[in-house]
Amino acid sequence: MLLDNNRRNPSGILPSEITPQDLFEQRRTVLKAAGAAAAGLLLPAQAYAAQTLDFQKTAFGKEEKLTSFEDVTSYNNYYEFGTGKEDPAREAVLFKPTPWTIKIEGAVKQSKTIGIEQLMKLAPLEERIYRMRCVEGWSMVIPWVGLPLKALIDWAQPTGNAKYIEFISYNDPRHMPGARIPVLDWPYIEGLRMDEAMQSLTILAVGLYGKVLPNQNGAPVRLVVPWKYGFKGAKAISTIRFVEQMPHTSWMKASAREYGFYANVNPAVDHPRWTQSSEKRIGAGLFAGRIKTRLFNGYDEVGQLYAGMDLQKNF
């Protein structure tokens, strides 16, 4: 007699996707120990992480159920601190996000630098609750605090030759153990087309849940583009370069067949190794099942940016 797998497992979650209870508890213990050790070793960094931000609440995502702070800050992709999801929270405790400056280069009227404090004064900080989708098939709902990227672009004064923006992440193998391993071509590089960068949904995040960004989430400033897969979100940005040609980004260098420049969430274009038609919401519970993925992650207003483009080819 054939068994009905859907009856046996109505959630659709494979046993291999479930974290064993003892491993889950062990992860919590390790993270708490790492946090306690960091508090004793690096008080300035801990003081930075405890800062709250002055921001305005917006209507973005107010109908969404937030992913817990614990999940947002303990389940991360940040290869500079390791390829495991728990690695960044453990390995980034000694990272110092202050003082911090960002170099502005390329096709601008004048090259210059901007400090994180000045950056946060370019526009009022806002809370934006965004759905975030990872190319690996999981998603979160995160209350980011940040400012429109457009505010920085206006301040930078790009010339007419600027067609794209290249974001270069901080790279220091001495304090970033993952950067000692050639899993990617360091430093991490991402990019956007100028009209994508100017779109009102695109922000530079400096915090989440009302506090400054934790190290493992990209402190002190990271890119957030909610209609694109998560790997577009360059973390710990140290250089922003305005360029005429499309940047050759880190994941394109690593595997152009799997990671295209645009990285728009598109359920009709599968990753070569897994489907993109559905996603698993982190923290939703073992029996919540998978969610149907929406084009552009549900942010339909950005569709006009790609009018006439072949989204199968430009993925």
DSSP letter at 150 equals H
Mean pLDDT value of segment 199-213: 98
Residue 28 above 70 pLDDT? no
Cα distance between residue 119 and residue 147, in whole Å = 9
Where residue 263 falls (left for φ over 0; alpha for ψ -120 to 50; beta otherwise) is left
Mean pLDDT value of segment 247-271: 96
Question: What confidence tier does 262 reach under pLDDT thresholds 50, 70, 90?
Answer: very high
Q: What pLDDT, on the 0 to 100 scale, is given for residue 44? A: 60
What pTM does this model have? 0.86
DSSP letter at 68 equals P
**131 exposed, middle or buried (CB, 10 Å; 0-12, 13-18, 19+)?**
buried
Give the start-to-end residue ranges of the domains of the chain.
18-306
Average pLDDT, the chain: 89
Q: What pLDDT, on the 0 to 100 scale, is given for residue 45? A: 63
Cβ atoms of 86 and 75 closer than 8 Å: yes
* Tokens found for residue 226: 């909610």
pLDDT tens-digit map of 134-167: 999 999 999 999 999 999 999 999 999 999 999 9
Residues β-bridged to residue 104: 112, 240
Would you say domain 18-306 falls under CATH 3.90.420.10?
yes
